[in-house]
Structure 1
């Protein structure tokens, strides 16, 4: 009785990386006339999270020959 080989499942596709956050807005300068101090710069956005890793495929079962 011959035995066939099961095939390995394919590996899942890796998730895409998240996009980086937007840069913060620049602060508004004070109106002219009196030398006002410039507004503070906005915070830099947080980087995006990594995507989920794809699942590994299930290994094929061995088949019994007739």
Structure 2
């Protein structure tokens, strides 16, 4: 399937969850927020939220600092 990931077209396997996408990208679940088609997905749903062809995903990393 094809998705738009942070503004870039990306080919991913069918039946992929948000957790699977993050794992494949080497991104931990800590300090990230994921938006799918302009809706923020709760972390509790990352395992069960399945991505679909054409989805637009934004991954935002939180960083601390001062």
TM-score with structure 2 setting the length: 0.21
TM-score with structure 1 setting the length: 0.21
Compare the two structures and name the one with the higher helix fraction.
2
Higher relative contact order (CA 8 A, sep 6+): 1
Greater C-alpha Rg:
1
Compare the two structures and name the one with the higher strand fraction.
2
